[in-house]
Amino acid sequence: MIVLLITALKDGYEDIKRHQSDRRVNNSLVRVLAGGDFVNSNVMQRKSKTFVKGVMRNYGLHIKSAQRNSDKEELAGDAAPVNDTAQHVEYDSMEDVHHAPPLSFGGHADTGRPHWKKTAWEDVAVGDFVKIMDNESIPADVLICSTSEEENVAFVETKNLDGETNLKSRNAISSLTHLRKAEDCASSHNKFRVEADRPDTNMYRLNAAVRVGDHAFPVDIQMALLRGTVLRNTKWVIGLVLYTGEDSRIVMNSGGTPSKRSKVERQMNPQV
């Protein structure tokens, strides 16, 4: 009984640490388009809930509070002023900040105007527009619409995928380079449709097409940012989420957790 109790405590501690790591990733923040006339009509499966949600809830709130405090320190000229209880809202220019609606009761900003709202990774859905800043991790497999560079080029670090530390260049799709602000992405005049294959494990292939009116533009892996990569030497990138969660390339290529039990332990288990 003593041996089994110690083993149970050890396994329980490791499981809790694994859940804490998952919560830390799921509660990372990314800027997602909100407000205006933009409505994401793509149907997503409901999020799965862990059975220790009650135990981990306070830990998740602690992470979000710490990230919100750190985000307030990063607010510069393109961010709207918020207080401790306000949701983080960012605008694309100082003109948008000056014309932004005032904070309403309860500290929450009026979300009628298109803006970038900081959202947890676990709440990002297929079809969302995201704005990724320099040195930020990519939350999902994203199609590049536009970048801060004149040639619409983005540089990413892929060492989490292939172990290579040199930067890779990625290009925005030419038909969407005009989407450079929240208003452009939310405008009904800039409608387009993306047709892509089912999720695949191949890291170096992507078969998709962007349809703007009656015209189709091909998309390959050179125009996408995969989850697990980090944006480098690029001020910002605006993209459209293609695959999230278990459908992303990095998750589909990660196998199950291997067993750490030795042959002796497997033999002793039925004996005990």
pLDDT at 197 > cutoff 70:
yes
Handedness of CA 75, 81, 87, 89 (dihedral sign): negative
Q: Decide if 246 is inside a domain.
A: yes
**What's the CA gap between 89 and 263, in Å, rounded?**
55
Residue 186 domain-assigned?
yes
- Is there a single domain that holds both residue 109 and residue 27? yes
Cβ contacts of 194-202, under 8 Å, gap ≥ 24: 194/143, 194/219, 194/240, 194/242, 196/242, 199/243, 199/247, 199/248, 199/249, 199/252, 200/249, 200/252, 201/249, 201/252, 201/253, 202/249
Q: Averaged over 205-234, what is the pLDDT?
A: 92
Q: Which of 224, 193, 190, 191 is nearest to 207 (CA)?
A: 224
Is residue 86 within 8 A of residue 63, CB to CB? The reply is: no
Whether 81 and 131 share a structural domain? no
Question: Of the ranges 74-83, 191-200, 235-244, which one carries the lowest mean pLDDT score?
Answer: 74-83
Q: What are the C-alpha distances in Å from 136 to residues 196, 228, 237?
A: 25, 10, 10
**Of 108, 123, 138, which residue is a domain's last?**
123
233-270 tens-digit pLDDT: 999 999 999 999 889 999 888 877 677 788 888 888 88
In this prediction, residue 221 carries a pLDDT of 92
- CATH number of the domain enclosing 216: 2.70.150.10
Q: How far apart are CA 160 and CA 228, in angstroms?
A: 6
Q: Which residues pair with 157 in a beta bridge?
A: 167, 230
User: Do 93 and 179 sit in the same domain of this protein?
Assistant: no
Residue 264 lies in a domain: no
Does residue 267 form part of some domain?
no
Residue where the block lists tokens 């602690």: 62
174 within domain boundaries: yes
Measured CA to CA, the distance from residue 215 to residue 35 in angstroms comes to 28
98 CB-side CA count, 13 A: 3
Place of tokens 């989407």: 179
At 189, the amino acid letter reads H
* C-alpha of 33 from chain center: 12
CA distance 194 to 127: 9
Last residue within a domain, chosen from 123, 138, 154 = 123
What average pLDDT does range 187-198 have in this prediction? 90
Please report whether residue 87 resides in a domain. Answer: yes
Residue where a domain stops, chosen among 84, 99, 123: 123
Are 73 and 156 found together in one domain? Answer: no
Alpha carbon distance 240, 181 (integer Å)? 13
Is residue 80 domain-resident? yes
Task: Take residue 167 and report the two structure tokens written for it.
Answer: 């930067």
The answer to whether residue 136 is domain-embedded is yes
Quickly tell me which residue has 């709202």 as its tokens: 117
137 and 97 in a single domain? The answer is no
Name the pTM for this structure. 0.72
Which domain covers residue 200, as residue numbers? 126-257
178 has a pLDDT exceeding 70: yes
- pLDDT (average), residues 157-165: 87
**How many domains would you assign to the chain?**
2
Q: What is the mean pLDDT of the chain?
A: 80
Q: Find out whether 211 and 195 touch, Cβ atoms under 8 Å.
A: yes
Q: Is the pLDDT of residue 169 over 70?
A: yes
